[in-house]
Structure 1
């Protein structure tokens, strides 16, 4: 009888585990060496960027709470990107929708600007020391060449193309659009100050190579020229970039990205008639592709990394853009944050440790690809936020559910403690970044690997045990050897995300998956969602700059070792 793949994988774990023997408690299945003398490059905190479709969630109760947590976990200002900042409406949120009513026209066709909702959004960011990655879009109803129907009525399970309504079309008047942008930037400078707004990123539209833009490529390039000119007229030192196109591993998306870079570097500017347009950063997106295999979730990290790799390759092929910052404007395991697990069962990965271990493993490989192509990676935007007043753990791609943090948020808390320089990690490991890019993590062996950093007084090691197939395996014995530590004694703190640590989802299930929580249950889940230590803090003697730290690491678990001196 032929076994399904997931039963074969589970049986393999049992057999291999039975063959392993650790009589003295010190032998290891995997040994990882961290050489703190071999610096790979600075930690640039590229992970400290997040985004979402629904901008009006920003200033709502749980939105404000989550933004505060994101700000607190990061040692640098967090950048936030949101869709629908210029969409027409009264500010009532809906899935994949939001509005600010920033632009209307009077009976004579004269512009009427109203910045009150946008101010509420940006005030919420700046009050927390955060910064907007300003997405200039979408098209106000009064400017759209096809205004009706305007607001879409999309719901999970409906065809995705139903969202592309009047907001997705070009303007009927490019000059009026440009004046809207100019006045928005000027208002921002007046409200927040020139020095602050100079640190923001401004970009035009979202994924203009697919249905989000219902015009032609040439019309998008024209709109970019008018938009960038307006931004620069209002604030010459503003950072303007784009195009936030979809994953470049798709041939048509690569062609669009190259067309954009060709136009901005040597094409004729539609607005000024000069050569080229300003590009302060280059942005594209990267997505994976989970599915079910014999009722078990099977991720596809390789698909996402191939998008990243091709995007870096494209940018690196333009000498004039060699040092231009690159932002992966949406970087996620798949493409629809508002699609729940009820309609897409594979999206259940979002609730537990599959999402958290995937994030640790994939972000490390993105840094590896940055080094490989020698590009200036500035940001990795995780397109996940929260969905206000939705069922608990409904399988949306979010970082928290009704104010309860999901395990994945604790990976970003771990990232926040990794400062200084990235250092070399080596060992006889089953996967490297190129293997994962080309083949994903589909072999019999699991991806047990690490990312490490050091500064003047702290070394950190992020260790994960990941596989694309969501089978929670027995713990692997891992030994971390650190070399050339500049200390004689260290204080070790071990943080963990797994089934029983930093995991409100598992506790919620143990409670019976309630949707009506008591105050006591909510408090327990809120506490369970925070980052937790695995062991007590330890003092360790360092001999000749070396120390070995053993740990047992279950499948889909992530550990962070913090050594201070």
Structure 2
């Protein structure tokens, strides 16, 4: 029996909901994307959204032209305005990532992703600075300085990888960062700019980035990096399989920037994990499973101990880095499939959104909080075997003594996802894994995606409720405990429903 303290031990960090990732941001122009984001915001409510491609050709910001024998550059913000307007209308702000390189400004031809975005340095740093300055100044002019000062501005994405930055040239990235940060600060010194947006395994860049920033007196307002736990990719047609490290490895990765930057000029700055997930592949079926939700539950419960934010990559399967999705369930990063079918990990986030602000207890398999009105919320998850050598325990029992003030009885609302409940992928497989489900099949899948729900009424003794939770394999469950205020009339008697004798 776990004895949950009656008094809070602190506040529950909401670093888990500070930001969420998205496919290239021009996708925000599409209806399905906006429908998905609206659902997400209604049920979870993220504060910021980050994605690639703000300055790529698909957004058509950088528009060079010839006039009277001379080259000029026009900066167009037609799509930028539509995307940012849509975000703000849905109650979410942009976490701006400045990239990738417009083709007419690029020094080379190397591209990345199905949508072929250029990842070479600018052939003119002056013209790049003009582009950054014009973009940021436009945002300030349209949305107001006070608003845009709240938007973090990140310079590039994973420059330590040759796929994302030509030759993974560290010195070239430092130069790009310096030019970009200066252009941002020319618009307003109070704007937030940071980086270096590193992939896992590149922590040695952090120390050199700090040395560069101090040597050159370059502004850095926050530090960013990414975290994934998957091993080498084993490819199959339109899919990938990988080994996974234990979820604790994600928390260890979250902790490294602060540990490595202690004593440097960047020590003490906010740290943002601007991408995290299990697999770094957008076609790994593990993302669609109940296992995945249980695997990540301890990360959401404990991640705020190490960083200011950690951004799930991504909110939707509307994502085209490896090409458009080839099937409804295809291993996409999203919390939602396209067509807004909720995955088990979506429900993990929705459960976290229903937790209270007062932290009462945490452990390897549970998180207990209280709301200001006295309701107690318990998030519990079954342990998983990340090695895949075993399926994980078939049953996991958790007994808790939960405080509940001023109540004689407790109402318990329990919502669960596991292999059978809140798991549309299971239903999809049983119906034959249709690549393009018909309308009636989509109806079934939306229904199957809803969590299992149960309701209990339990006694309260000495201000405590005993919760006995038995979790199935890969289950994540939310138990919401509130005091019963019985308003049934004195003549209410279930035995009289069919004419029986009253009590």
Superposition TM-score tier, normalisation by shorter sequence: 0.7 to 0.9
Residue pair 1:53, 1:82 contacting (<8 A) in 2 also: yes
How much has 1:413 moved relative to structure 2?
Answer: 0.5
Partner of 1:304: 250
Which residue of 454, 473, 482 maps to 1:564? Answer: 482
Which residue of 197, 200, 222 maps to 1:244? Answer: 197
Three-state SS of the structure 1 residue aligned to 2:252 is helix
Partner of 2:278: 333
Partner of 2:53: 84
Residue pair 2:43, 2:350 contacting (<8 A) in 1 also: yes
How much has 1:59 moved relative to structure 2?
Answer: 2.5
Structure 2, unpaired ranges of 5+: 235-239, 319-323, 484-503
> For 1:169 and 1:516, how far apart are their aligned partners in 2?
37
Which residue of 153, 169, 193 maps to 1:216? Answer: 169
> For 1:309 and 1:514, how far apart are their aligned partners in 2?
42
Partner of 1:27: none
Partner of 2:317: 386
Partner of 2:179: 226
Q: Does 1:534 align with 2:453?
A: yes
> For 2:25 and 2:152, how far apart are their aligned partners in 1?
17
> For 1:53 and 1:267, how far apart are their aligned partners in 2?
35
> For 1:535 and 1:280, how far apart are their aligned partners in 2?
47
Residue pair 1:289, 1:303 contacting (<8 A) in 2 also: no
> For 2:147 and 2:80, how far apart are their aligned partners in 1?
16
Partner of 1:494: 414
> CA separation of 1:487/1:74 partners in 2, compared to 1, >3 Å: closer, same or farther?
farther
Q: Does 1:402 align with 2:338?
A: yes
Residue pair 1:43, 1:421 contacting (<8 A) in 2 also: no
Residue pair 2:26, 2:53 contacting (<8 A) in 1 also: no
Partner of 1:102: 61
How much has 1:38 moved relative to structure 2?
Answer: 4.3
Q: TM-score, normalised by structure 1?
A: 0.75
Deviation track 1:392-439 (CA, whole Å, cap 9, x = no partner) reads 11122222223112111111101111231333335xxxxx5xxxxxxx
> CA separation of 1:545/1:319 partners in 2, compared to 1, >3 Å: closer, same or farther?
farther
> For 1:517 and 1:298, how far apart are their aligned partners in 2?
30
Residue pair 1:201, 1:240 contacting (<8 A) in 2 also: yes
RMSD: 2.6
Partner of 1:267: 215
Three-state SS of the structure 2 residue aligned to 1:135 is strand
Partner of 2:9: 39
- Could you tell which deviates more after superposition, 119-128 or 190-199? 190-199
Partner of 2:369: 453
Which residue of 461, 481, 492 maps to 1:543? Answer: 461
Partner of 2:489: none
Partner of 1:137: 99
Residue pair 2:383, 2:393 contacting (<8 A) in 1 also: no
> CA separation of 1:38/1:70 partners in 2, compared to 1, >3 Å: closer, same or farther?
same
Residue pair 1:55, 1:121 contacting (<8 A) in 2 also: yes
How much has 1:286 moved relative to structure 2?
Answer: 0.8
Deviation track 1:316-370 (CA, whole Å, cap 9, x = no partner) reads x136545422111111112122xx2xxxxxx2212220111112122224235x2
Deviation track 1:257-301 (CA, whole Å, cap 9, x = no partner) reads 11112222x222xxxxxxx222222111111015799x9975313
> CA separation of 1:152/1:44 partners in 2, compared to 1, >3 Å: closer, same or farther?
closer
> CA separation of 1:516/1:209 partners in 2, compared to 1, >3 Å: closer, same or farther?
closer
Residue pair 1:36, 1:424 contacting (<8 A) in 2 also: no
Residue pair 1:501, 1:534 contacting (<8 A) in 2 also: no
Residue pair 1:48, 1:74 contacting (<8 A) in 2 also: no
> For 1:33 and 1:533, how far apart are their aligned partners in 2?
27
> For 2:106 and 2:350, how far apart are their aligned partners in 1?
42
Residue pair 1:361, 1:466 contacting (<8 A) in 2 also: no
Three-state SS of the structure 2 residue aligned to 1:172 is coil
Structure 1, unpaired ranges of 5+: 1-30, 89-98, 156-162, 269-275, 341-346, 371-376, 427-431, 433-448
> For 1:460 and 1:320, how far apart are their aligned partners in 2?
40
Deviation track 1:15-74 (CA, whole Å, cap 9, x = no partner) reads xxxxxxxxxxxxxxxx44432424143432433422134323222232112211221123
Residue pair 1:34, 1:425 contacting (<8 A) in 2 also: no
> CA separation of 1:119/1:197 partners in 2, compared to 1, >3 Å: closer, same or farther?
same
Which residue of 67, 70, 77 maps to 2:37? Answer: 67
Q: TM-score, normalised by structure 2?
A: 0.84
Partner of 2:143: 192
Deviation track 1:462-502 (CA, whole Å, cap 9, x = no partner) reads 1111211361542222212224x444254321111112221
Three-state SS of the structure 1 residue aligned to 2:442 is helix
Residue pair 1:464, 1:553 contacting (<8 A) in 2 also: yes
Three-state SS of the structure 1 residue aligned to 2:454 is coil
